[in-house]
Each structure stands twice: as structure tokens, then as C-alpha cells.
Structure 1
Amino acid sequence: MSGDASDVTFGVMLTAASNDYGLEEAEIPPAVRRLATTAEEVGLDAVVAGDHVAYPEEIPTDYEYSKTGEPPFDTTTPIFDVFQLFAHLAAITEEITLGTNVLSVPYRHPVLLAKNCLSAHALSEGRFELGVAPGWLSSEFEALGIPFEERGTRTDEFLEMFERVREKEVLGFDGEFHSFEPLGFYPNPDEPIPILVGGKSGASIRRTAEYGDGWTTIWDKPEEVREIRERLVRAWSDFDRDGEPQMVVTRPIHVGTDTDLDTDRLFVGEAESIVEEVEQYAEAGATRVNLDFYTTDVDAQAEQLERVGDRVLDAL
């Protein structure tokens, strides 16, 4: 079932917390505070951030989200723990959702990860959203002592455990990788924590339908979102799920023609053309668009968010 553009919500990706912005460490906290509060002020619905623990020297040079294949980070890039980041932002925002997009599940012991999620949800008064994936940076897995080939099954094990935690609150667990006697998982707010799952493999689609509320991706075009949604709807039916899966896509944006970027690109140009492209995503099944940027200049990013609020949201 295709949606309507007016029903699409919007978020912003805080890449300044994990990518190389050329900022001094002391400059990053004010930057992420500014972007998060600006996003809330202009009417966006979510602030999301990625998850890494420590960037190793050995990083694959086939990073698909840059022109050169080189990732926008290295061993000297400051990385802010995503849960501490959200605890900080929860105190200076009031309504905006705070979400991981995405968190590498195997990096943390499942009991600790459950505690982090429940705490973030409680401290934000029900505004936390958990976006998960098995992870991709094999050298980071090696540094953490976690077998890379086990990442998918470890992710499933956590999601199975966390589903039980939300139902029982006091739980013992006997899994393939982790087992423990009954433990109390508190705080455990009444509001359910939305779970989004990343990845395009058959296992990822199955994982989304079995445990998630929806699916999340980066940079995919409307036709790619439509194709994944068709696969996900079939899996949704296989697991007898009610309702419709959420579909979230992250894309960079530049509102306006004051750019050297090709205005034929998606989400580059005047608001009217961007609204038309949001409509294409809505028709493909997207329910939220998380905005990223073509610039690492924080002033320019904040201005773009203001343009989104003034020109794009008002036109939907």
C-alpha cells in the first residue's frame, strides 16, 4: 500500500558524532546540540546517530557511501558513545525521537545492551528508537574479540532475548552465545521501544519481520525501497504480523540551487522538486526520511534544516 507524502515524517542523521568533520573534540558537543535542537525547532520528528566503538587502522576502502570508496573517518576521528549521546540530548530536547541508525548489536553483551536501551527509553520519557544491524566492519569485530561470522546469529539472539525482556521484565535466558539465571530488567517503561532493522539480505528481511517494527536503509532510491518493501510485506505475512512495516530511508539533502551539485539528483534543488521526490518515496512505501548532508560545515547543515522546515515541510 503506497502512502501519502504528507504522512512521511523526517529525521536528521548526526554524523558529526562519528565522522571526520575537521572539528576539534571540544567543538563537537556544541555542534550536535545545535543540530538536534534545530531539528526539533523546525519540526523534524527524529534525530538519529550511528554506532561504532573504536575505528581500527584497517578499514576497507570499498566504502560504498563515498565517491572515492574511502570512509569519512579514521583512527583519529572522535566517536561518541551513542547511548551517552542520547542521554545528553534527551536533557535538552522535549519531543523529538532519539534513534540509533544503526547500532551494531554484537558489539555489546546482550544484558548490557538491554540495560542501555531501557535506560535511554526511560530517561527520554519514551522517545528512544532502536535501529539495529549485525555490523560490517570486520576489523572492529576483531578488536573487540567477537567472531565476525557470528554477527547475524548474535543479533538474532539479542532480539529474541529483548523481546522476552519487554514481556516479562524478570528473565532467565539460555542462548547459543549467552545464558544467565533470572535477572530483573529495570527500568522497563510501559511504552514499547520501536525497533528498525537494517540490511537487504534474506536474513535481514526475515529479521525485520520476526522482530522489528520496520526497516531502515541509506541512500536507496524509491524503486529500491519499493522492491525491499515487497519482499518485507511477504515476510510480514509469513510471521502473521499485524499492520504495516515502517520504511525509513536516509538521504543527503540540499534545499536550493545555490550549489555546485547536480540539481537532477534526488533531494537537490528547490523545495517543489524535493516535495515531488518525497511523494515518490511515499508511493514506494517510505514512512520516514532521515536527512543527511552534502557538507560537513555545521552552520550550513543548520541552515539546511531551517530551509527544510520553512520550505519543504510547509509545502507537504
Structure 2
Amino acid sequence: MHIGAVIPHDEIGDDPGAIRAYAQGAEALGITHLLVYDHVVGVDRNRPGGFEGPYDSNTAFHEPMVLFGFLAACTETVELVTAILILPQRQTVLVAKQAAEVAILSRNRLVLGVGVGWNTVEYDALNEEFGNRGRRQEEQVELMRRLWTEDVFSYAGEFHRFEHASILPRPDRPVPVLFGGSAPALLDRCARLGDGWLPLGSPNEKSADRIAEMRRVREAAGLSWDGFEIRAQAQWGGGTPERWRSHAQRWKDLGATHLAIATHRAGGTDVDGHLARISEYRAAVADVV
């Protein structure tokens, strides 16, 4: 099981030097992958009618593709993982183009985790429809994979249509696409179309049941379970070495291939502090991984 880290998006700040120091420091610690969250706009909780959600207009998010273009030049080995990119609120062909560019510049270190999101205001701001996001996501993944691998072609789907077009340059192999979420329709989509799953929950019976169901769907479709990744997350805040070890062991027992430690929202600190937390976590779970 590979150990990664979640980029502390709302605490890392906007100093390029600090962001570079964090990424290079994590890589030097032996971290194998860096995760980044995605939101384009935040919503004011004091707006008419109010707003409920884990993030709002006061929470900072770096734009994943631009950030990864920067980190591709700053790092050499770590995978760059979106966890998750809210795909249906973005233009499909543009995401395919951006992902191809990051994959090329990073020498195929991009892992594209995608989800459907929950924030209707964000969809409104980006002029995309919220209600059909699940169906649209499935078509988006199909189209992106064709754009990464095929020369000029025509496409006529439910949501996308064009004739005799392509993107260039293209990566020399397809970008891995993983799905985040836990709804039954999403798990079915993930099993049929995904290269892996990005769970947000705990390594409990529900997660075990979801993994078993995805495995069943893949086997029924004639798809191998070998190589299907499960990339989970852990929280530094509120943990102890014993709890981190137990949590990691339970994910490993469920078949997790990757585990990323989130060090933000655990008390104010700086880049060195986040790196120290990563180091402490890695030491605690070393005998598990």
C-alpha cells in the first residue's frame, strides 16, 4: 500500500515558493502521490436563503490542472492525483486537453479522479446542468479516453457532438481515471468504467460491501479486478500513532492500494509543520505498508 498526502489546499497559501517546498519536501519524505481537491467557486453562507456545505466562499482551492502543471516541473516521481475533479461542471474536451498536457509534462504522473459534486451554485456559476451530471459524467469519460488515444474522429452522443476533430499533443498512454463517491449508480459506473475508486468513508463494513459490489460488477462484465486501485485517505487531526496504524491496517485488509494523509484542519501550521505531520504519520504506519 502506497502512502501519499493531501495537499493542504486551504492552508498552503499562494506563495509559489511555499507550494514548491511542500511538494518537493513530501517527495523527499518518500510520499508516492499528492492529492488535490477541487472547487471552482465558493458560496457566501450569508446569502439570501443561506447556504449549507463543508466549504464556502472563505475556503481557498487551487485550480488542479494549473497547479499540477506547476508541480510537474517541481517534482520528479510523485503521482499527481485529483481527488476529485468535479467533471460534469467542466467542458469535457477542455478537460481532456488539460489532462493530456499535464500527463505529457509530468511524464505520465497524472491520475484523474473524477466526481459529480454536490454544490448546485457552483454548477450554476459554470453554466452547467446539475440534474444530469451522472449520465453526463459517463459520456465524458468515454469521450476523454477517445481523445487521448485517437486521431481525428467524429462523435455523436447524448451531450456531446462534433465532426472530424481531435486534440494534439496526446499522451503516449491513456490517463488513469478513477471515480469518487459512494452512491449505487456511481459505484456501478466506477466498476464498469474506472481504473479505481476514491472512497471518502472509513474502512468499515459499508466500504467492504461497496468494494465487494464493484468487484461483482467487474467480474460480471468480464473485467479483471487485478490493477483496480482503491485510493483512500486518512486524517492526521485527532489521530494517534496507534489509531493511524489501525486505520491503515483496516484499509489494507480491504484491499486498498494507496492511502493519503490529510494534514490540514488540524491546527494552524506552516509548510514545515505539514511535512512534519506527514513524516510522523509515515513512521507510524511503516510496519503496515
Give the TM-score normalised by the residue count of structure 1: 0.82
Question: Bigger CA drift: 91-100 or 192-201?
Answer: 192-201
Partner of residue 26 from structure 2, selected from 17, 39, 42: 39
Displacement of 1:46 = 0.4
Equivalent-residue separation in structure 1 for 2:235 and 2:153 (angstroms): 42
What are the within-5 Å matches in structure 2 for residues 296-315 of structure 1?
Answer: 296-298=268-270, 299-313=272-286
Contact 2:97 2:167 in 1 (8 A): yes
1:49 counterpart = 2:36:
yes
How does 1:207-222 map onto structure 2 within 5 Å? 207-222=189-204
CA offsets per residue over residues 184-218 of structure 1, 9 Å max, x none?
A: 22222223311110111121112112211110022
Alignment of 1:285 onto 2:272: no
In structure 2, do the counterparts of structure 1 residues 217 and 31 end up closer, same or farther at CA, with 3 Å as the change threshold? farther
Name the residue aligned to 1:189: 171
Aligned partner (choices 266, 269, 272) of residue 240 of structure 2: 269
For residues 229 and 315 of structure 1, the distance between their equivalents in structure 2, rounded to whole angstroms, comes to 21
**Superposed counterparts of 1:1-316, under 5 Å:** 8-16=1-9, 19=10, 21=11, 26-27=14-15, 29-57=16-44, 60-61=51-52, 63=53, 71=54, 73-244=55-226, 245-253=228-236, 261=238, 268-270=239-241, 274-293=244-263, 294-298=266-270, 299-313=272-286, 316=289
The aligned counterpart of 1:67 is: none
User: C-alpha distance in 2, partners of 1:177/1:129?
Assistant: 24
What is the total number of aligned residue pairs between the two structures?
Answer: 281
Q: What runs of 5+ residues in structure 1 fail to find an aligned partner?
A: 1-7, 64-70, 255-260, 262-267
Whole-Å Cα distance in 2 between the matches of residues 287 and 315 of structure 1? Answer: 12
Moved more, 154-163 or 81-90: 154-163
1:35: how far off? 2.4
Q: Tell me how far 1:232 sits from its aligned partner.
A: 0.7
Unaligned runs of 5+ in 2: none
Report the Cα distance in structure 2 between the residues aligned to 1:224 and 1:296, rounded to whole angstroms: 33
Once residues 246 and 56 of structure 2 are traced to their aligned partners in structure 1, the CA distance between those partners, rounded to angstroms, is 37
Structure-2-length-normalised TM-score: 0.89
